[in-house]
Structure 1
Amino acid sequence: MSEIQKQIDLSTQIAGVKLKSPFVLASGPLSFDAEGMIRAYRAGAGACVTKTLRDNAAINPVPHIGSFGRDTLINCEKWSDFDADIWIEKEIPKAKKEGVVVIGSIGHTPEEAKNLVKAVADAGADMIELVSYSEDTMIPMVDIACRNANIPIICKMSPNWPDPASTAVKCLEAGAQAISAIDSIGPTLKIDIYNARPEMNSEDGYGWMSGSAIRPIAIRIVSEIARKDCKELIGIGGVTKAEEAVEMLMAGAGAVGVCSIAMLKGIGVFEKLNKNLSKLLAELGYSSIEAVKGAALPNFPKKEIIGTLDFKFDESLCTKCKKCEIVCCYLARKLEFPQMKLDEDLCRYCGLCISTCPTGALKGKVSV
């Protein structure tokens, strides 16, 4: 690690709770018990969210998790398959004893919030994350949680609601201290083509999607919530590498939830994410998470930008992969190395050639 990297401050705060790293193990199979959370925390996670606690332990169909394309999952897994008492009496205290910053996930109804919030807080959780299938139940859950706990309350937004950004504002007005966004997207469907049936064995064959495929939706919703002046925000959804974490942070998140990629690549991704994020922030000129947080928000366009692109080609960076030529739907670009040719009469300045260049050999600046 370079001296500059060592100077990068990766610590952050959510609702006054300090995290050693911006990466949070989001609620899921890896946080099924204290040992799972301890492993993630030791690997570099700044905090860990428990599996969601409810009044009754879950019984899951089989199978209930499957691959859904590159770094993407489908699942019909429910909440924790432990009784809440096990979490309260054993798992949360055990994780806290090992120094884990614990966020207790509680769902999905006001009645369950009334039954569980105080006990989870008393067990040592640093924060509470409320989860609901319905917007209508979230605000009553916030009210109950705030009356029953003296620790920060986080509300998790669902992308399946009509307007999660407006719901986030209502939650904050009701007393929540922070927002996490987003939950998984669905319902979705995957067909097992070899057996001509749904791959998930839920009651309707449907599941919920997480991982890389949902990232653009997650970043959009995070930015919308941040632009409504939410300063305490955990961005969750599809982050697999440092560059994507920076996107989430620039969109307004102060911490980044990670789940699917850790399931697919192993808990060691946290160490890799921290190392690569430190290096990338140094390259971009940011000294801390606070410095990069929300950096993109002032730069959202106020209207459509119409113009052209001034292209620049650096042959020293070119690998001759010809991706720029392959993706040009209009046959406007031709690589005859070391020359890059462009037919300006055919080019629509869509920008795909720039976006797909793997080395940055081809760049473009908007000219209005």
Structure 2
Amino acid sequence: MAKQVFILVGTRKGAFILESDAARRSWEVRGPFCETWPTNHVVADPASGIIYAGGGNEWFGPAVWKSTDFGASWTHSSQGLAYEAGQAPVKAVWSLAAGGDGSLYAGVEPAGLFRSLDGGESWAHLDGLQKHPTRPEWNPGGAGLILHSLVLDPTDDGRIWIGISAAGVFATQDGGASWETRNRGTRADFMPEGQNYPEFGQCVHCLVMAPGGGERLYQQNHCGMYRSDDGGRAWESIETGLPSSFGFPAAAHPRDPDSLYLIPLNGDIKGRFMPEGNTAVWRTRDAGRSWQAMRAGLPQGGAYFNVLRQAMATDTMEPAGVYFGTNAGGLYASIDEGESWDCVAPHLPTITSVETLVIER
């Protein structure tokens, strides 16, 4: 059997799939899928190889698309993707995650969490998050009040971490029945002086878990970059050495818990593009104590694009591949852990998410 590598891409005009062999030297681009619906997140269940795509908007409504044949055919369902009567309607699905117990989770806008036990055919609202005492005071970020980060504990099906803009990080240890805030140590610079470290209200941009089975999390925030070694109960700033404290995506190395990739932008009110128009992916190999700018093969000069919160990922190959997509539609790949880069698809629609799947067949 031979390994195949897939890059799963969500865009404003449907999902795309790129496919390569283990060498990852050339890529076949397929799509757009999902009838060109706005697609916020495309993921795969690594156990089954089933691909799911979540998206929609206030015009289309929310839906999760499903392909059991690596993108050759698709179905979709929105059954149960709705709040109880009298609540604001669900506009779109923003994030998806497949659990080890066969469950599938969806984060939506306005922020809430749904679970499917039948492969995305039907959904049930996990209303414990809506019952959190801080819920009446949540405020939307620039893209709305969205649950965009879903982190499942691979060793415990009951433990989930989520990121909401702009409410912060929350965690559950009982499968979503109850939740607690996990924001201690993260700033909210947009709050009044003296209130910059609130219990909730931070504008988290991306939340990822380090490999290895521990409690290490990394976070890219509107106001800094952070690491937690205790499941988010306390956060430590790791932005020293980076060109700014603002950016969107984060991607963890598949095997090394000390390695992380970030793409800082030039600032939240300065255009939100590559600093000085020069593209770089910043890599740490010591858990954020120091950083290195990886630029080889990336556009230098005149690069005024940005990279959205879910648009960077790694694969599980050796050496690990690193991938990111831009709001200008360029998809970039590194097959040597960020040392060098190639543009593998230059003209896709605005890229909203990038994930990977490695299989043998």
TM-score range, shorter chain: under 0.3
Choose between structure 1 and 2: higher helix proportion. Answer: 1
**Greater CA radius of gyration, 1 or 2?**
1
TM-score, normalised relative to structure 1 = 0.27
Higher relative contact order (CA 8 A, sep 6+): 1
Choose between structure 1 and 2: higher strand proportion. Answer: 2
TM-score, normalised relative to structure 2 = 0.27
